[in-house]
Chains A and B, each alone.
Chain A
Amino acid sequence: MLFTSPLRYPLYQLGNPQLRIFRPNWFLTLVRPGKEQPPDTAQFRIPMEMTKCDVKNYLEKIYNVPVGAVRTRIQFGSNKKRNHLSQKVKQPDYKVAYVQLAQGQTFTFPDIFPEKDRTAAEGSVEEMQEKFLEDEKQKQKPDPRRGGVTEWFGL
C-alpha cells in the first residue's frame, strides 16, 4: 500500500494533534454478477493491489457496510484477439471480489435500464406516424373472417 500525500505534515511529537489524513487511492466498481449469486453477496471489481482485508476495511470504514466474508479472484483478460496488423490485443486483467454481507442483509443489483413505456404524446407527429405504421401492418394481415385458411386458392 502506498500513501502518497503531496502535503508535508508538521513533525509529530507525543501530545500533538493528529493531522495526517490517509485516503486510499483505490476505487471499487459494483457490478452485476454474470452468474446468479446468493442474495447476501455483492460483486465488485477491485484494483489488483487490494487484498481481502483491504476490501473489508474499505467497505466498513468508508461506507459503513457490515461485511461478513470476502473472497477474491483474478480474471485473466484475453490475449487471443488480433488487430488489423495481426498483433495480439490484450484485454486488461482485473480482480473480482465477492463480498458476503453480515447481519442478514441482502443485496440485489438494481435494474439500471428499465423498459420505458414508449407511447408518444397526444397530437404529436410521432403518434400519427405510429398510427400510420400500425394501419399498414394491419392491411398486410390476412382476412380474419377466413379463420386462418390461406388465400392461395379460392376466388
Chain B
Amino acid sequence: MAARTRLPLLFPKNLPPFRNQRLVQTEAAAKDPAYPPIVPSRTAKSKSALRRQVEEHVQKVRASPVEEKLALITRIQRQKFVVYPQTFARDADRWYQHFTKTAYIPGLPEKFTRGQEHTGGEEGSPPAAAQTTVPGIENDAFADIRSLISRVILQEHWYQKKRRPFLFREQEHMVGPLLRNLVSGLTYSLAKYNPLLPLCSLDVNPQVNFYWSRGQRIIPRGHRSGRLEPTRFQIDDHPHTQIRITQQLPEFAPLEASYDAEVPEITLAPNLMPMFRRQYDNNIFTGSKLPDPARYGHTQFHLVPDRYHRDRMARQQQSDQVEVFLRANGLASLFAWTGAQAMYQGFWNYEDVTRPFVSQAVITDGHFFSFFCYQLNTVALSVETDANNPRKNLLWGTESLRLYESVQDGEVVGLNDSVIKLLVQFLMNQP
C-alpha cells in the first residue's frame, strides 16, 4: 500500500532538478571582494600623509569653478616678496626674467617688423600708392592720426599754461593728461578700422595684481627651520591706462618656439636684489572682476615717473639703467596682466595654459616711447610643476624711440612717423 508521503497540497509538476546537488564549481568568484583602496593616511605625521593632503587639495581646486579656484589659491596669507614693476634696483630685468621664467627677445615680433620691411621696399615705389605702411589704414586716416597727436602734444605743452608743478609731480602734471588724451583719441579714431575696439573697455588708472610662487628655500631659523618653503611673489601694478577686449589676441610665436629660448638663472635669494617681504592679502586681478565680458588684454600704457626719468638718471650717472628699468617695467606689468587673464580662465599652477595669452604695452615719459609684446606660455612656475616644463614665456621689446623733438611757436617739430606707425599697428592688432 502507498504510504502517504508528506508532499505539499499543490504539488508542482516540474520540480527543480537536483535541488540537493548544488553545482559548486561553476559558481566562480565573479564578484571581486570589495576592499577600500590602499592609500596613505591623511592625518598622520608622515611625508606620505603630507603628500596625500597636497594631492587632495590639488584635486579639490581642479574640481571647483573659477571663483572658488581663485579663492582657494589666494586663501592663505604668508610672507611674500613684493615685486614692483617700476623699481630702482640695478639689473632688475635679469632678476625679473628669472622670477617669471621669461626670455627677452630684442626687437618686435614678425607681425610688426613685416610692416617695417614693407616701408623699405615701398619707398622706391611711386608716392601715389594709396596704401600706407600700415595695412588697413588709408593715407588720409594716417594724416588724421598725425594731426591728432600733434594737437594733443600742443594742448599740453603750448596752449595750456601750466605753473611749475610741485616737486616730483612733473610727469603727472605734464605727461599724464597728454597720454590719457592720446590713448582715448587713438582708440576712438581707430575704432572704425579695428572691430574689437568699439567693444573694448578703456580703463584709467586701473589695478592689476598677480600672485605666484617660484623656487624654494630652506628656512634657516625658527620653529620651521630645515623645512622647504616656496618663495611667493606678488605684483601690485597701476598702469596709466589699459584696453581690455572681448576676444583673445593671436599668438606671436608658436608654443614650441619658446622651448629653445634662454632664461637667466639666478641662484641667489631675491632679497639681495634688493626686494622686500611683506604679508598681506593675495590678490589676482586683471582690472575688472570675473563676470566682465572684456576679459582679455590688448594694450597697457605706462608712464615713467619723475624718479626714473632719464634726465635724473643721467644726473646720477646711471643712464644705462634707463633701458633696464623700462624692460623690467614692461616685463613685470605684462606678466601680471597675462597671468591674471589666464587665472580668470581657470588655468593655474597645476593646470597649465592650453593656448598662449598675449598682451602689449607702451611705456613712455612724454618724449620717448618703448613698445613691448608679451606672450604667456606657462603659468606652472612652482618647483613641482617646473621640473619637466620646457615652456618659457617670451617678451619682445624695443629701445626707446623719440616721438618728437620739441614744441616751438605752436608747432611740433620733428614728429617721428615710425613711432606713430608702431602705435597704430599696436592698436590695430586683432585676431
List residues of chain A with CB under 8 Å of any chain B CB.
36-38, 40-41, 66, 68-69, 71, 100, 102-103
Q: Which of B88, B272, B320 contacts A41 (CB 8 A)?
A: B272
How distant is the Cα of A66 from the Cα of B316 in the complex, in angstroms?
11
Question: Do residues B317 and A102 form an inter-chain contact, with CB atoms below 8 A?
Answer: yes
**For the side of the interface on B, what is the size category?**
10 to 19
Question: Do residues B91 and A37 form an inter-chain contact, with CB atoms below 8 A?
Answer: no
- Chain B 64-93: CB-based contact to A (< 8 A → 1; otherwise 0): 000000000000000000000000111100
Q: Which of B88, B268, B317, B320 contacts A38 (CB 8 A)?
A: B268
Question: Do residues A38 and B272 form an inter-chain contact, with CB atoms below 8 A?
Answer: yes
Give min CB distance, A35 to chain B, whole Å: 8
Within 8 A of A (CB), among B20-64: none
Give min CB distance, B293 to chain A, whole Å: 45
Question: Do residues B268 and A36 form an inter-chain contact, with CB atoms below 8 A?
Answer: yes
Which residues of A are found within 8 Å of B139, using beta-carbon distances?
Answer: none
List residues of chain B with CB under 8 Å of any chain A CB.
88-91, 268, 272, 274, 317-318, 320-321
Give min CB distance, A98 to chain B, whole Å: 9
Question: Do residues B272 and A69 form an inter-chain contact, with CB atoms below 8 A?
Answer: no
Question: Do residues B320 and A103 form an inter-chain contact, with CB atoms below 8 A?
Answer: yes
Question: Do residues B318 and A102 form an inter-chain contact, with CB atoms below 8 A?
Answer: yes
Question: Do residues A37 and B272 form an inter-chain contact, with CB atoms below 8 A?
Answer: yes
A36-B268, A41-B272 known; 4 other A-B pairs, CB under 8 Å?
A: A38-B268, A68-B90, A71-B274, A103-B320
Which residues of B are found within 8 Å of A38, using beta-carbon distances?
Answer: 268, 272
Give min CB distance, B371 to chain A, whole Å: 25
Question: Do residues B91 and A40 form an inter-chain contact, with CB atoms below 8 A?
Answer: yes
- Nearest 10 CB-CB pairings of A with B: A68-B90, A100-B90, A38-B272, A69-B90, A38-B268, A36-B268, A37-B272, A71-B274, A68-B318, A102-B318
How distant is the Cα of A130 from the Cα of B274 in the complex, in angstroms?
52
How distant is the Cα of A71 from the Cα of B272 in the complex, in angstroms?
11
Which residues of A are found within 8 Å of B274, using beta-carbon distances?
Answer: 71
22 contacts between A and B (CB under 8 A): A36-B268, A37-B268, A37-B272, A38-B268, A38-B272, A40-B90, A40-B91, A41-B272, A66-B317, A68-B90, A68-B318, A68-B321, A69-B88, A69-B89, A69-B90, A71-B274, A100-B90, A102-B90, A102-B317, A102-B318, A102-B320, A103-B320
Which residues of B are found within 8 Å of A37, using beta-carbon distances?
Answer: 268, 272
How distant is the Cα of A68 from the Cα of B272 in the complex, in angstroms?
15
Q: Which of B88, B268, B321 has the most CB of A within 10 A?
A: B268
In the complex, the chain A residue whose C-beta lies closest to that of B220 is: A35
Which residues of A are found within 8 Å of B268, using beta-carbon distances?
Answer: 36-38
Which residues of B are found within 8 Å of A69, using beta-carbon distances?
Answer: 88-90
Which residues of A are found within 8 Å of B89, using beta-carbon distances?
Answer: 69
Chain A-chain B contacts (Cβ-Cβ < 8 Å), number? 22
In the complex, the chain B residue whose C-beta lies closest to that of A104 is: B320
Give min CB distance, B67 to chain A, whole Å: 41
How distant is the Cα of A41 from the Cα of B274 in the complex, in angstroms?
12
Which residues of A are found within 8 Å of B317, using beta-carbon distances?
Answer: 66, 102
How distant is the Cα of A38 from the Cα of B89 in the complex, in angstroms?
13
In the complex, the chain A residue whose C-beta lies closest to that of B266 is: A38
How distant is the Cα of A102 from the Cα of B318 in the complex, in angstroms?
8
How distant is the Cα of A68 from the Cα of B324 in the complex, in angstroms?
13
Which residues of B are found within 8 Å of A40, using beta-carbon distances?
Answer: 90-91
How distant is the Cα of A100 from the Cα of B324 in the complex, in angstroms?
15
How distant is the Cα of A66 from the Cα of B90 in the complex, in angstroms?
14
How distant is the Cα of A89 from the Cα of B23 in the complex, in angstroms?
96
How distant is the Cα of A37 from the Cα of B273 in the complex, in angstroms?
9
How distant is the Cα of A69 from the Cα of B317 in the complex, in angstroms?
11
Give min CB distance, A59 to chain B, whole Å: 13
Which residues of A are found within 8 Å of B88, using beta-carbon distances?
Answer: 69
In the complex, the chain B residue whose C-beta lies closest to that of A100 is: B90
In the complex, the chain A residue whose C-beta lies closest to that of B274 is: A71
Give min CB distance, B93 to chain A, whole Å: 14
Give min CB distance, A69 to chain B, whole Å: 6
Which residues of A are found within 8 Å of B90, using beta-carbon distances?
Answer: 40, 68-69, 100, 102
How distant is the Cα of A100 from the Cα of B317 in the complex, in angstroms?
14
Which residues of B are found within 8 Å of A36, using beta-carbon distances?
Answer: 268
Which residues of A are found within 8 Å of B320, using beta-carbon distances?
Answer: 102-103
Which residues of A are found within 8 Å of B91, using beta-carbon distances?
Answer: 40
How distant is the Cα of A71 from the Cα of B90 in the complex, in angstroms?
12
Give min CB distance, A65 to chain B, whole Å: 13
Which residues of B are found within 8 Å of A41, using beta-carbon distances?
Answer: 272
Give min CB distance, A112 to chain B, whole Å: 23
In the complex, the chain B residue whose C-beta lies closest to that of A33 is: B272
In the complex, the chain B residue whose C-beta lies closest to that of A103 is: B320
How distant is the Cα of A36 from the Cα of B89 in the complex, in angstroms?
18
In the complex, the chain B residue whose C-beta lies closest to that of A68 is: B90
Give min CB distance, A151 to chain B, whole Å: 42
In the complex, the chain A residue whose C-beta lies closest to that of B321 is: A68
How distant is the Cα of A68 from the Cα of B317 in the complex, in angstroms?
8
How distant is the Cα of A102 from the Cα of B313 in the complex, in angstroms?
13
Give min CB distance, B428 to chain A, whole Å: 38
Which residues of B are found within 8 Å of A103, using beta-carbon distances?
Answer: 320
How distant is the Cα of A40 from the Cα of B89 in the complex, in angstroms?
13
